[in-house]
Amino acid sequence: MTRNPNMRDAILSAAEALFSSSGFNAVSIRDIAQEAGANPGSITYHFKSKDGLLLEIYKRHCGPMNKRRIELLVAAMRVRDLQNRLEAIVRAYVQPAFSSSSDLAGGGARFTRLRAVMSAEGNPVVGRIIAEIFDDTTHAFIDAIQQSLPHLPRATIVWRCQFLLGALYYALVNPERVSRLSRGESDGSDIAEGIEQLVSSTVASLQAPDPNDLRGEATMGARRAPVRARPAKAKPDV
């Protein structure tokens, strides 16, 4: 391949494309160099290692996205009505990912696919990078949701935020499935519709009763259920 004068960006773009299609473990520095039209030494010069390269990819996309999420979260927390506030909090998390349709801030479908692949691989290096990039922002959203739903345990909110993340990944990387299964009644690539549907379903999920409470109520109900007297045996006909 011909050499790109902006070699650093070329390496980032090549690595992102390869990681999103093949994962982190299967891609070598030599593979990235060949894709970028670079020599392997250029990668170690700019990024030190493959780990450093992946970290820079995350920072390039997620720095702007997390910044926008926090800006929207601050505005959401000013909403007085708890129901409206909860919806605004969820929207603050969802909207920046959808509205970032380019390959930079937020990353669009390619970077979202990379994130999904990285999460599935279970590589400890990837896990540390994901924690470094996202944990502070995610904790801020969990705290905000808990203020709006103080009756729910934090662990339950964490579970439901995990489900939100999975739905967000899938909505961004596979929008054509919505179009197909709706038989054309919905366009899976309609960003505005995707945001509204995901926000609505997530708010409903967050507001659902805690399953641990339901199990406890069922157990207590079983304990308190009155013992019914057995019917007297019918006398035999004589």
Residue-wise pLDDT for 72-100, tens only, equals: 999 999 999 999 999 999 999 999 988 65
For residue 225, the model assigns a pLDDT of 52
For residue 105, the model assigns a pLDDT of 45
28-83, pLDDT tens digit by residue?
A: 999 999 999 999 999 999 999 999 999 999 998 888 889 999 999 999 999 999 99
Question: Do the domain assignments include residue 89?
Answer: yes
Pick from 92, 97, 69: which is nearest to 79 by CA? Answer: 92
| Claim to verify: residue 204 and residue 152 sit in the same structural domain | yes
For residue 224, the model assigns a pLDDT of 56
| Claim to verify: residue 139 and residue 80 sit in the same structural domain | yes
CATH code, 110: 1.10.357.10
- DSSP secondary structure string, 7-31? HHHHHHHHHHHHHHHH-STT--HHH
The angle formed by the CA atoms of residues 182, 197 and 191, to the nearest 5 degrees, is 85
3-state helix, strand, coil in the chain (%, to 5): 75, 0, 25
| Claim to verify: residue 41 and residue 76 sit in the same structural domain | no
Give yes or no for residue 119 having a pLDDT over 70.
yes
Question: Do the domain assignments include residue 107?
Answer: yes
How large is the average pLDDT for residues 222-233? 52
Number of compact structural domains in the chain: 2
For residue 228, the model assigns a pLDDT of 54
For residue 103, the model assigns a pLDDT of 43
| Claim to verify: residue 203 and residue 100 sit in the same structural domain | yes
Question: Do the domain assignments include residue 199?
Answer: yes
| Claim to verify: residue 93 and residue 18 sit in the same structural domain | no
Give yes or no for residue 133 having a pLDDT over 60.
yes
| Claim to verify: residue 204 and residue 89 sit in the same structural domain | yes
| Claim to verify: residue 21 and residue 75 sit in the same structural domain | no
- DSSP secondary structure string, 51-80? HHHHHHHHHHHHHHHHHHHHHHHHHHTT--
For residue 223, the model assigns a pLDDT of 55
Residues in CB range of 197: below 8 A, 6 or more apart: none
For residue 236, the model assigns a pLDDT of 38
Q: Alpha-carbon Rg of the chain, whole angstroms?
A: 25
- DSSP annotation of 214 reads H
For residue 113, the model assigns a pLDDT of 82
| pLDDT, mean over the chain | 86
Output the furthest CA–CA distance in the chain (Å, rounded): 108
Q: Could you tell me the pLDDT band of residue 2, with boundaries at 50, 70 and 90?
A: very low
Question: Do the domain assignments include residue 233?
Answer: no
| Claim to verify: residue 95 and residue 43 sit in the same structural domain | no
| Claim to verify: residue 44 and residue 69 sit in the same structural domain | no
Q: Is the dihedral of CA 146, 152, 155, 156 positive or negative?
A: negative
Question: Do the domain assignments include residue 217?
Answer: no
Helical pair 124-148 and 154-173, crossing angle rounded to 10 deg:
120
How large is the average pLDDT for residues 206-220? 78
Question: Do the domain assignments include residue 223?
Answer: no
| Claim to verify: residue 93 and residue 19 sit in the same structural domain | no
Distance CA 53, CA 43 (A): 8
| Claim to verify: residue 147 and residue 187 sit in the same structural domain | yes
Residues in CB range of 85: below 8 A, 6 or more apart: 76, 77, 79, 148
Question: Do the domain assignments include residue 158?
Answer: yes
The DSSP element (H or E) to which 84 belongs, if any, is helix 82-99
Range of the domain at 84: 61-209
Question: Do the domain assignments include residue 28?
Answer: yes
CATH code, 34: 1.10.10.60
| Claim to verify: residue 107 and residue 183 sit in the same structural domain | yes
How large is the average pLDDT for residues 1-16? 79
